[in-house]
Amino acid sequence: MEKRRVVITGMGVVAPNGIGIDNFWDSLVHGRSGIRKITHFDASSYPCQIAAEVPNFDPTDYMSPRIVNRLGRFTQFSLAASQMAVEDSGIDFSREDPHRMGVFIGTAIGGLDVFETRHSIFMEKGLKRLSPFTAISCSTHSASGIISCELNLKGANSTIAAGCNSGMDAAYMAHNSIRLGDADLILVGAGEAPITPYMHAIFCVSGNLSRENREPHKALKPYDINADGMVLGEGGAVVIFEELNHALERKAKIYGEVVSYSALNEAFDLFGVNADDGTMALNFKNALERGHVDIRDIDFISAHGNGILSYDIDETQAIKKTFGELAYHIPVTSIKPVTGHAISVTAIWQIIASLLTIKHGIVPPTINVQNPDSRCDLDYVTKGFVKKNVETVLINVHGFGGRLTTMIVKNFLPERLRS
């Protein structure tokens, strides 16, 4: 049986630093942060008063007003990003078998913003004031469901909830589904809307959010000795995974190829990390071996870099253990100081940023790194973007609970069709 290969043929993004691929990429390259003072609610009494909110998002630009009020914000983000990705891909679903087209969406928080709002209404005004659409709006599966309905996609459909790794796990499931022959094309993405009074509060009391409220755009400082935590973000992103021959037959533009994936767990602590364990390095090794990728072929690492120093040190040590002396010659970027940490969505943003790095030959910077911790001594691209020919990228995600996911993507060249 011929090996089925998976390529990426469309991308859509709704992010705090820009809506649409061009705006998103321009802000990454020039290091313009989307982290600001919170406007969704009065956060003046919170220890962390900043977040990465999506400004100027009008859901009616992407969906009918009839359904807007039936959807939670994370679902609106996901549906908007899917519409962009479909347009970007040029796919005409009326010419396709809908049973071969699927949707996999990741989310950690889901529609809890709806639950929080509607619960308050219920407690104050009772059952009769509840919307009949509340149940579906709160559901983590509402995004996958509405995307399938709006686009008439009748193939594989699933929602993955695995914390920060949810988006990457959605990508893995889609990759496998296409490789196994269950689908020809799958919309893969994630959506989050955690910036609400209660959700933000519970992240605050966890002790993992930055308290740098004076200069929000400088708050998230991965790998820096003065890093004091992450900053929550919101948004959505969708990429289109497609079987290679299917993409070639319709003459689709191809951003890159998904080479391999690996997932492990440190199984150490729900919040803490064990940098001496070596599990992350093993995860990198597994992804490289499964994709038949030599360490010398990795041109760029899209890192997790969440601004919690123990996580950043763990990641750095894993990179050094895997790549040895080569580690000091591979640019490593965390996009979170620009995008915020939108939990499951950030992994899809990392995929998009990696493919745009390949396309443009530009590695975006890690901003806000002024005084790196002595254990964080790699090239984090701290002096602005750099021009570099990038063919192969390793993408890393490190979630609470020690969850580890790694994906490798590479440039697609027609001459590789025989490989």
216 shares a domain with 93? yes
Q: Are residues 297 and 359 in the same domain?
A: yes
Q: What is the pLDDT of residue 417?
A: 66
> What's the confidence (pLDDT) of residue 2?
65
The token pair at 328 is 């000091």
Per-residue model confidence as pLDDT tens digits over 144-178: 999 999 999 999 999 999 989 999 999 999 999 99
Q: For residue 254, is it within any domain?
A: no
Q: What percent of the chain has pLDDT over 70?
A: 98
Considering the chain, what percentage of its residues have pLDDT values greater than 90?
Answer: 84
> Do 100 and 245 sit in the same domain of this protein?
yes
**pLDDT in the model for residue 368:** 98
**Within-domain flag for 418:** no
Over its C-alpha atoms, the chain yields an Rg (Å, rounded) of: 20
Average pLDDT for 262-289: 89
Domain-ending residue, one of 249, 273, 303: 249
- Structural domain total, the chain: 2
302: Cα separation from own chain's centroid? 11
Which of these three, 229, 249, 269, is where a domain ends? 249
> Tokens 């308290």 correspond to what residue?
211
H or E segment at 21? helix 21-30
Determine the distance from the C-alpha atom of residue 126 to the mean position of all C-alpha atoms in its chain, rounded to a whole number.
38
Task: Please tell me whether residues 199 and 280 are part of one structural domain.
Answer: no
Measured distance CA(305)–CA(221) in Å, rounded: 9
226 and 316 fall within a common domain? no
Asked if residue 242 and residue 267 are part of one domain, the reply reads no
- Does 1 have pLDDT greater than 60? no
Give the total residue count for the chain.
Answer: 419
The Cα–Cα gap between 287 and 264 comes to 11
pTM: 0.96
Question: Tell me, what's the pLDDT at 244?
Answer: 97
One-letter amino acid of 134? T
206 and 311 part of one domain: no
On whether residue 415 sits in a domain, the answer given is no
Residue 298 above 90 pLDDT? Answer: yes
What tokens does 158 get? Answer: 């699933």
Residues known to be catalytic: 164, 304, 341
- Assigned domain for 276 exists: yes
CA atoms in the 13 A half-sphere facing the CB of 28: 30
Beta bridge partners of 187: 103, 240
Whether 199 and 340 map to the same domain: the answer is: no
Residue 417, domain member (yes or no):
no
User: Do 280 and 392 belong to one domain?
Assistant: yes
Q: In this model, does residue 268 exceed pLDDT 90?
A: no
**CATH, residue 336:** 3.40.47.10
Domain end among 216, 249, 282: 249
Which residue, chain included where needed, has tokens 């890690």? 366
In this structure, are 244 and 264 located in the same domain?
no
What is the pLDDT at residue 419? 47
pLDDT of residue 114: 78
**pLDDT (tens digit per residue) in 16-33:** 999 999 999 999 999 999
pLDDT, position 418: 52
Q: Are residues 165 and 270 in the same domain?
A: no
Cβ proximity of 79 and 146 under 8 Å: yes
Q: What is the pLDDT of residue 73?
A: 95
pLDDT of residue 22: 98
DSSP 15: E
Enter the tokens of residue 282.
């093993």
Residue the block writes with tokens 């995008």: 339
pLDDT for res 281: 96
- Phi, psi at residue 237, to the nearest 5°? -160, 145
In this structure, is residue 1 part of a structural domain? no
Residue type, 199: M
**Average pLDDT over every residue of 132-153:** 86
280 shares a domain with 225 = no
Q: Which pLDDT tens digit goes with each residue over 211-256?
A: 999 999 999 999 999 999 999 999 999 999 999 999 999 999 999 9
How does strand 392-399 pair with strand 300-302?
Answer: parallel
Domain range enclosing 339: 260-410
| Mean per-residue pLDDT of the chain | 94
- Confidence at residue 123, expressed as pLDDT on a 0 to 100 scale: 78
Please state, in angstroms and rounded to a whole number, the distance separating the CA atoms of residues 300 and 351: 12
